[in-house]
Amino acid sequence: MSEAVDVAALADLPPGEPVLVRVGETPVCLVNVDGDVLAVHDICTHALESLSGGWVEGDTIECPRHGAQFSLRTGEVLTPPATVALPTYGVEVRDGRVLLDPTPSREHPLTR
């Protein structure tokens, strides 16, 4: 992990609840999935909606606007209307703090 950024306390991430954090100008959605903290870009690749306002089931997040679903582990699209994967971010938990690698796995097509 390069240049990790401290973004949250693990205690502030209730299991299954999306939490919005910002890394510079980038909105990132964090989700505690059975003790694994996963991070994806917070903006849906279909309609510029904040995913942190959506719903989580297992390791899937659903956009609150049109219902597109994404894998929190890979960012891949699981259901339409989205067709483009989300960027994901590396996460490490150390001493109760959530550290995020700010380098995305891919570019976000709508926020370039």
Could you give the C-alpha distances from 69 to 17, 19, 54, 78, 98, in angstroms and in order?
A: 15, 17, 10, 5, 24
29 within a domain of the structure (yes/no): yes
Residue 112 pLDDT grade (very low, low, confident, very high; cuts 50, 70, 90): low
CATH of the domain at 31: 2.102.10.10
Of 96, 27, 26, 16, the C-alpha closest to 56 is 16
Cα separation, 8 vs 59, in Å, equals 20
110 within a domain of the structure (yes/no): no
**How far from the centroid of its chain's Cα atoms is residue 4's Cα?**
16
Judge contact between 84 and 77, C-beta under 8 A. yes
Q: Model's pTM, two decimal places? A: 0.95
Count of the separate structural domains present in the chain:
1
Q: To the nearest whole percent, how much of the chain has pLDDT over 90?
A: 91
58 within a domain of the structure (yes/no): yes
Q: Bridge partners of 37?
A: 32
Which domain range does residue 43 map to?
5-100
36 within a domain of the structure (yes/no): yes
pLDDT of 10-50, one tens digit each? Answer: 999 999 999 999 999 999 999 999 999 999 999 999 989 99
Residue 1, pLDDT score: 53
Cα separation, 87 vs 99, in Å, equals 17
Choice between 106 and 1, residue whose per-residue pLDDT is larger = 106
| Helix (H/G/I), strand (E/B), else coil: 68 | coil
